[in-house]
């Protein structure tokens, strides 16, 4: 892969909306991605392996629990700093951002919000430092968009719970030490359980042959009569709203992350269009290429404004789940379209690993599917504005 020459687009001077702390956090993440992710990520994506050596660096830039209080090892930052960190990491690779999203919003968040003090003290500092990596098991082979139908279940055996079932498509599963698993009790009520690697009957086979998110490890979680200690049940929230609450936080991070992938594709295509000569001119001088680039920066700027505003609302605890769905859906769609257009601007070079665009393009096929598909988020908006539920 070529040297990382990334220069972030800021067409509407949005930096003026950021505090000094936001810029400090963002710039540290940006520098780290340039130094530690860009030089190696193409090789890891090609060999379909997560670069485990970057875990410490992710912890150092505050990517594990950016908004978790410092008393639990988190970075104690606000929602805009959290978003900016996700943007910068995904500028490098969506798979790396996935690891950070899952760790922060799908593992640390439920332990912090729904766990008791003992669980917070036991797990959060180790997750914040990257000593332990976590994963989040909601999706099942037969229950993806409709998690309420899940069949994974646990029975009260007196001194422990007995967990049975299977989860599929689980990011970080192959190397996670800790899994936050959503399962039904004997009354059919959904609860979160903390399952640890090493518990008898718990296995995490890896999912192979992905064309997307290749630098992220994906796997299954299999529970075959796993004895889970009673103290591992998350006591403070149950029902489908519990996992969906975690998804709100992760989807918000993805809305920012997608901007990062889009910025990288735009910046690469813009630079290429000024250097690549055809018919005796830089291709950026042709109107058709300018149309593509002008539309890209317009869409990136709109997404930046939407997401910054959402961050302000979240800082005031005023953002609704439907607002988050709109931003996730819009921004991932924006990024996937920009990746496709940018790829074309690079001609044949666009399909190679010399440039990041094809990798972003393939990664975004997962991002547009996970954490609620493009269509599911549209139906969430539809429900919110009409009051009529397309899911029932």
Q: Is the dihedral of CA 319, 321, 326, 331 positive or negative?
A: positive
What contacts 252, CB < 8 A, 6 or more positions away?
A: 79, 82, 83, 105, 310, 311, 314, 319, 324, 327, 328
Find the part of the chain contacting ligand FAD (CB under 6 A) among 23-31, 167-175, 262-270, 338-346: 167-175
Is position 171 an interface residue for ligand TGC (rule: CB under 6 A)? yes
Distances (CA, A) of 28 to 50, 51, 74, 81, 381: 22, 20, 16, 11, 35
Identify residues 288-327 at the interface with ligand TGC (CB under 6 A).
321
Is position 45 an interface residue for ligand TGC (rule: CB under 6 A)? no
**Which tokens sit at 170?**
């689980």
Find the part of the chain contacting ligand TGC (CB under 6 A) among 30-38, 39-47, 243-251, 355-363: 243-251
Distances (CA, A) of 307 to 74, 81, 105, 201, 331: 23, 12, 17, 42, 9
Is position 218 an interface residue for ligand FAD (rule: CB under 6 A)? yes
The total of other beta-carbon atoms located within 10 Å of residue 18's CB is: 18
Of the candidates 90, 299, 341, 371, the residue annotated as catalytic is: 371
Active site (annotated) includes residue 365: no
Question: Whole-number minimum distance, CB 285 to ligand FAD, in Å?
Answer: 39
Q: Give the whole-angstrom CA distance, residue 226 versus residue 165.
A: 10
SS3 content of the chain, % helix, strand, coil (to 5): 55, 15, 30
Question: Whole-number minimum distance, CB 185 to ligand TGC, in Å?
Answer: 15
Which one of 245, 282, 353, 382 is in contact with ligand TGC (CB under 6 A)? 245
Identify residues 131-150 at the interface with ligand TGC (CB under 6 A).
136, 138-139, 145-148
Question: Whole-number minimum distance, CB 133 to ligand FAD, in Å?
Answer: 12
Site mask for ligand FAD (CB under 6 A), range 139-158, x = bound = x----xx-------------
Question: 241 is in the binding site of which of ligand TGC, ligand FAD, none (Cβ under 5 to 8 A by kind)?
Answer: ligand TGC
Which one of 41, 77, 170, 338 is in contact with ligand FAD (CB under 6 A)? 170
With contact defined as beta carbons under 8 Å apart, do 354 and 298 qualify? no
Is position 109 an interface residue for ligand FAD (rule: CB under 6 A)? no
Is position 69 an interface residue for ligand TGC (rule: CB under 6 A)? no
Q: How many residues at the interface with ligand TGC, by CB under 6 A?
A: 26
Is position 239 an interface residue for ligand TGC (rule: CB under 6 A)? yes
* CA nearest neighbour of 239 among 187, 179, 178, 167: 187
With contact defined as beta carbons under 8 Å apart, do 21 and 287 qualify? no
- For ligand FAD, the closer CB: 218 or 268: 218
With contact defined as beta carbons under 8 Å apart, do 227 and 162 qualify? yes
Is position 244 an interface residue for ligand TGC (rule: CB under 6 A)? yes
Which one of 102, 226, 270, 303 is in contact with ligand TGC (CB under 6 A)? 102
With contact defined as beta carbons under 8 Å apart, do 29 and 84 qualify? yes
Question: 307 is in the binding site of which of ligand TGC, ligand FAD, none (Cβ under 5 to 8 A by kind)?
Answer: none
Residue nearest to ligand FAD (CB): 144
Is position 338 an interface residue for ligand TGC (rule: CB under 6 A)? no
What residues form DSSP beta bridges with 170? 219
Is position 369 an interface residue for ligand FAD (rule: CB under 6 A)? yes
Q: Give the whole-angstrom CA distance, residue 3 versus residue 42.
A: 12
H helix count then E strand count, the chain: 12, 9
Calculate the dihedral angle through the C-alpha atoms of 83, 87, 89, 94, rounding to the nearest 10 degrees. Answer: 110
Question: Whole-number minimum distance, CB 105 to ligand FAD, in Å?
Answer: 11
With contact defined as beta carbons under 8 Å apart, do 165 and 40 qualify? no
Known catalytic residues are: 371
Footprint of ligand FAD (CB under 6 A):
102, 135-139, 144-145, 169-171, 213, 218, 366, 369-371, 373, 375-376, 379, 391
């Amino acid at each position: 892969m070529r040297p990382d020459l990334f220069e972030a687009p800021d067409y509407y001077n949005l930096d003026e909306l950021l505090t000094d702390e936001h810029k400090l956090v963002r710039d540290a993440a940006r520098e780290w991605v340039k130094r530690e992710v860009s030089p190696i990520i193409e090789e890891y994506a090609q060999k379909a392996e997560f670069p485990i050596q970057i875990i410490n660096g992710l912890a150092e830039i505050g990517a594990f629990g950016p908004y978790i209080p410092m008393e639990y090892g988190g970075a104690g930052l606000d929602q805009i700093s959290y978003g900016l960190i996700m943007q910068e990491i995904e500028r490098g690779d969506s798979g790396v951002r996935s690891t950070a999203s899952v760790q922060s919003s799908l593992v640390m968040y439920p332990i912090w919000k729904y766990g008791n003090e003992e669980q917070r003290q036991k797990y959060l500092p180790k997750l914040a430092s990257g000593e332990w990596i976590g994963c989040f098991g909601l999706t099942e082979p037969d229950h993806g968009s409709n998690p309420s139908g899940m069949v994974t279940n646990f029975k009260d055996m007196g001194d422990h719970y007995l967990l049975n079932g299977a989860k599929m498509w689980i990011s970080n599963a192959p190397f996670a030490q800790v899994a936050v698993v959503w399962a039904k009790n004997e009354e059919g009520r959904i609860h979160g359980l903390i399952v640890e690697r090493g518990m008898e009957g718990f296995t995490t086979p890896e999912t192979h042959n992905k064309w997307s998110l290749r630098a992220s490890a994906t796997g299954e979680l299999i529970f075959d009569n796993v004895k889970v200690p009673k103290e591992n049940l998350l006591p403070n929230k149950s029902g489908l709203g519990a996992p969906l609450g975690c998804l709100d936080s992760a989807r918000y991070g993805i809305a920012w992350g997608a901007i990062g992938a889009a910025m990288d594709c735009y910046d690469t295509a813009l630079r290429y269009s000024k250097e690549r000569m055809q018919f005796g001119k830089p291709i950026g001088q042709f109107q058709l290429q300018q149309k593509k680039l002008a539309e890209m920066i317009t869409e990136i700027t709109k997404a930046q404004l939407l997401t910054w505003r959402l961050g302000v609302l979240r800082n005031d605890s005023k953002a609704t789940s439907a607002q988050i769905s709109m931003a996730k859906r819009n921004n991932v769609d924006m990024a996937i379209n920009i990746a496709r257009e940018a790829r074309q601007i690079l001609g044949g070079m666009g399909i190679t690993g010399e440039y990041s665009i094809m990798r972003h393009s393939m990664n975004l096929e997962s991002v547009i599917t996970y954490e609620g598909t493009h269509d599911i988020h549209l139906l969430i908006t539809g429900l919110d504005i009409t009051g009529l539920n397309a899911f029932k």
